[in-house]
Structures are given as C-alpha cells and as structure tokens.
A and B are shown apart, each in its own frame.
Chain A
Amino acid sequence: MVKLMNEILAFIDRWSGLIWESTIETFQMVSISLIISIIIGLPLGVLLVLSRPGKSLGNKYLSGFLNVIINIIRSVPFIILLFTLLPFTRFIVGTSMGVRGVIVPLVVFTAPYIARLMESALLEVDKGVIEAYEAMGIRTRDIIWHVMVREAKPSIILGITIAVIGLIGATAMAGLVGAGGLGDVAYRFGHLRYEPVVMYATIVILIIIIQVIQTLGNQIADRAKKD
C-alpha cells in the first residue's frame, strides 16, 4: 500500500510538470484558434445563408464559390492540411513551428466547420418568425441578429461544443510541428519511449476535459433556450 503511494508520488513528481505544461499548451492552441475560427466562421455562416438564391443577398456565384472552398477544405484531413499549409503559415505568422505555427492550420480547419454549423443552425430557424418580423417593418440586419442568431443560439452553442472537441483532437497532431500539447505527450512518451502510464494519464485528462466541455456546452445551450 505504502509502496503504491510512493510510486504514485514519484510519478507525479516526475511527470506533473510536463503534463501541466502540455495541458496549458493544449488550452492555448484550442482557445486561440477557437476564437479566431468563431470570428471568421460565424459571419461566414451568415453569408452562406444570405447568399443562397432567393435570400436577401441571393447570389449564385458568391454562394457557389463559398460552398466549393468550404467543401475543399473540409475534405482534407487535418494532418495533411497541416503540411500543405506550411508555406502559407510561415507567410502569415512568420513561423510554422510551435503554438504560433499551429494556430493557422487549426483555424483553416475549424472556421469552415463553424461556418457550416452556423449555416445549418440559421436555416433551422422558423421561417414564419422571420416573416413576422419582415411584416413588422424591421430591417434585415436586425432580423439576422435579433431573430435568426438569437433563435439559433442553442444549436450554435451545441455546434461550437462539438467544434471544440474536434479542435482538441486536431491539436494532438500539433506535436508534429513542435507545438506540444497533451496529444503530443501521449504520443511521444506513450508510443515512442514506451511509458504507458504517461499515456494513460494524458488520456484520462483528455477524457475529463471533454466531459467537462460537453456538459458545459449542454448547460449553456439549455440556458440560451430562454434568456
């Protein structure tokens, strides 16, 4: 018993610094790229809806162009995107290594996804309500914000929750460009250096993080249903 305790203490002593550091790295990568992706993705989603033929900005070419680009990006697996984008990343942020270097591909990977989920959340909004607001003489931009986005909020939040979980998965590959993070630790120590306990520890942490995020997402979405 005492022996086991000692072993656990020794494990924590030896690895906690590394695991803590990589948890922070994961958080950094996820939060920064999430924020940028939302800033790009949400308006893009609105544009996807408005540019549909028959909608207020109805434009076949714009809508066709956006759809093709988003579909192309969304068909490339993240690991390939990461390498394909290397020159572009270097051009944008000056480096393709480290946390900074991985933000660009993470955003390119996530923003179109958020745009799509925004699009489908907005399309789900009851047409009748939108029509009622048009009939009251309310401006299109106000309808977008105060009716469409508002009514879609619960499903947008659930969608973003899923996007975050996807992002965490993608950051596992960030180690390949030296950005670190939990996934990288699990891979390097668990697989390359055969320290399975380290791998299991990181997996447990990942599971906990994802549980927390999903629960939080569900709760916020519930609250958004009536506010």
Chain B
Amino acid sequence: MIELRHLSKTFESKKKNEDVLALNDVSLHVKKGEIFGVIGYSGAGKSTLVRCVNYLERPTSGEVIIDGAELGEMSTEQLRQARQNIGMIFQGFNLLTTANVYDNIAIPLKLTGVSSSEIKKRVDKYLNIVGLADKKKVFPNQLSGGQKQRVAIARALSHEPEVLLSDEATSALDPETTDAILDLLLKINREFGITILLITHEMHVIQKICDQVAVMENGQVIEQGKVIDIYTQPKNKTTEKFVSSIFPSDIPDTIIDDLEKQGPIINLTFVGHSADQPALSMLSKQFDIQSNILSGNIVQLKDQPFGKLTAHIQGDKVETDKALAYLQEQGVKVSEVKRRG
C-alpha cells in the first residue's frame, strides 16, 4: 500500500556545510490493512519521513509509491487528488478555531467537492464512530485534547481514505486518553481496513496497536520487523533501549556482585503461551535450587502477551545449569545479566 524506496531528504541551510540530512536512504513497505509504527528519538527524522509520504515535504531523492502510483511523477492536480486518499492526523490536532465541530469536518469535504447531502451523512457517520455525535455545535476550544483528536480523526476519515498517517497523534495526551485514542485507531483499522502509518517516541504505542515497527536513528531505519521480533530479539542498542523502556529492570552493580556469588542472575523472556505458564515456580520443585524474582512485567502486545522476568537462581552449578536448560526447552528465552561497570 505504501512503499518508500531509498528516500533521502536534505534540508539546505544558508551556511553551506550545515545542511541537515534528515532522511538517509530509507526504504519501507507498509502492507494493506497493516498498522506500521516508526519509533525513534527526537530529531531522528520521523516527522520528515511521514511528511514525505504525502509530499508535504518533497524528498530530495527516492520514490514514494502509494497504491501503485509514484507521487513524484504527479502534477499538482494529481497530487491533490492522491492526497484525498491519504488522511493525516497530527500532535497539535490542527482544527479551525473559528469553526465548530460540524464545520471542521464539513468545510474540507465541501472544498474537495463532496455534495451537501453526502456531507451531512458523512459528518454524522464519522462523529458517531469517534463518539462525539453530541458535540456538533461545540467549538474546539471547549473540547479536551482527546476530544480534539477525535474530531481530527473524524475529519480525516470523512474523506474515506485508504491510508492514515499519524504524526505523534497521542504525544500531547495523558496516558488514559492515549489508550482511548489508540483503541479508536485499532477499531478503524479493523472496521475499515485502513492502512495506518504512525510515528511515535513511545514504545507503549507500538506495543499496543502495531503489527510492524521500524526503529529510526539519524535519518536511517536501523531495524525493522514484526513487533514481537523486535521485542524478543532487539539487534540494535537503540532498539534495546526502547524495549527496556517498558521493562525498567536495571539492577545496581553492587547488588549483582553480591548475588552472583550464590548463583546466576537471569533474564527470562516469555512469548505467547509460555507467558502464562508458571515456569519459574516449577523450577524449584524439579531441581534443587531456589529462585527469587528481582523484577518482572508482562505486557499485552497487539496479539499476544510478552513477559520479561529478572530472577536470581540459587543453587550449585550443576543444578542451576539443568534448570536453565529446562526453561529453554519450555520455550522461554534465557540470558544472563552481567554487571555494566
């Protein structure tokens, strides 16, 4: 549905040698009906990337292919038409402050040539979907952030696009509202089959609704794949940092030193079914060891649970080795925790 081929974008600066290479040879493929997340720290080039997808920003080189058509080859008029098939929502909502909720959705429809009877139908339909049917006459400054984003989503959906781009749509919202908006995005993805490309700096967003994820750093995609794979086997330092942001399990070196004398400290990673089995409690029964959980967490990824435990295993070398081998047989990924210093 969305194919980006070798995209690069350079922002020229007045001073010759201070040009910014915001995108450096980025290639992505977002399949139809998928929710694809791009995560990265501030300045990684995420916004530049989504803005290239609808040519709000013209890439310096490379191709953007939406639904088989290359945007770079289009005339202004064709690009305008193509954009009507690509919805976009923003961190700042970007509603008209001088128009009420109804008009905020109706005006763009009118300007893209939708008939007035159809406009009325669509505004009602999509306000219902986002749950704001009773706010038609209200002005944006009387709405909460979450409600404003709902209006913006309804505005985007009302053009009935096949693709929805989201530039940090939940970054200005509190955690609860964020979850509600993410649920809404998931719902429209499932109900209408809209392909969603979203960018964020929160792992939570990726974990909750994305199928695929790409990690960006310095204008490049440094890792991409299924969300579950990135969680279980992060290959890159930055990816690891993002993953550990939801599993804050740093153990102080002094404690590691202390504990290691009595047995290894291990990280256990559970995926899918193995996440809800009492693997650890079985250990103490089957082997002559004692296990002690230092920290742990289970999160719900979009379609399977994923858990991570840090535990201390006490016992003699032979027994602990047997225990770890047993865990691995059960489909649990085991890695030893070492001191960082």
Contacts and interface: CB of A to CB of B under 8 A. Distances in A.
Contacts of B88: 132, 135-136
B330 interface: no
A150 B103 CA distance: 12
B69 interface: no
Interface string A201-227: 000000000000000000000001111
A226 B111 contact: no
Interface in A124-164: 126, 128-129, 131-139, 142, 146-147, 150-151, 153-154
A55 B94 CA distance: 19
Given A136-B84, A137-B82, A138-B112, A131 B96 contact: no
A128 B111 CA distance: 18
B86 interface: yes
B83 A137 contact: yes
B60 interface: no
Given A131-B56, A226-B100, A226-B139, A136 B94 contact: no
A133 B56 contact: no
Contacts of B139: 226
Contact of B96 (A137, A138, A151): A151
A136 B97 contact: no
A146 B111 CA distance: 9
B108 interface: yes
B56 A135 contact: yes
A142 B96 contact: no
Interface residues of A, number: 23
Contacts of A129: 94-96
A147 B104 CA distance: 11
Interface residues of B, number: 31
B112 A137 contact: yes
A226 B143 CA distance: 14
Contacts of A137: 79-84, 112
A129 B151 CA distance: 13
A224 B98 contact: yes
Contacts of A150: 96, 98-99
Nearest to B159: A136
B80 A139 contact: yes
Contacts of B90: 128, 131-132
Contacts of B108: 133, 136, 138
B94 A128 contact: yes
Interface string A47-60: 00000000000000
Nearest to A145: B111
Contact of A225 (B82, B86, B98, B155): B98
A126 B108 CA distance: 17
B56 A146 contact: no
Contact of A136 (B79, B83, B93): B83
B97 A142 contact: no
Contacts of A139: 80, 111
B107 interface: yes
B70 to A, nearest CB: 17
Contact of B98 (A128, A132, A133, A226): A226
Nearest to A133: B108
B33 interface: no
B234 interface: no
B92 interface: yes
A136 B80 CA distance: 8
B97 A151 contact: yes
B98 A151 contact: yes
Nearest to B83: A137
Interface string B133-144: 000000100000
Given A128-B90, A138-B80, 10 more contacts: A126-B97, A128-B94, A129-B96, A132-B152, A135-B88, A137-B82, A137-B84, A138-B108, A150-B98, A150-B99
Please name the 3 residue pairs, one residue from A and one from B, whose CB atoms are nearest each other, closest first: A137-B83, A132-B94, A137-B84
25 contacts: A126-B92, A128-B90, A128-B93, A129-B95, A129-B96, A131-B56, A132-B88, A133-B111, A134-B56, A135-B83, A136-B87, A136-B88, A136-B156, A137-B79, A137-B80, A137-B81, A137-B83, A139-B111, A146-B111, A150-B98, A153-B98, A154-B98, A225-B98, A226-B139, A227-B98
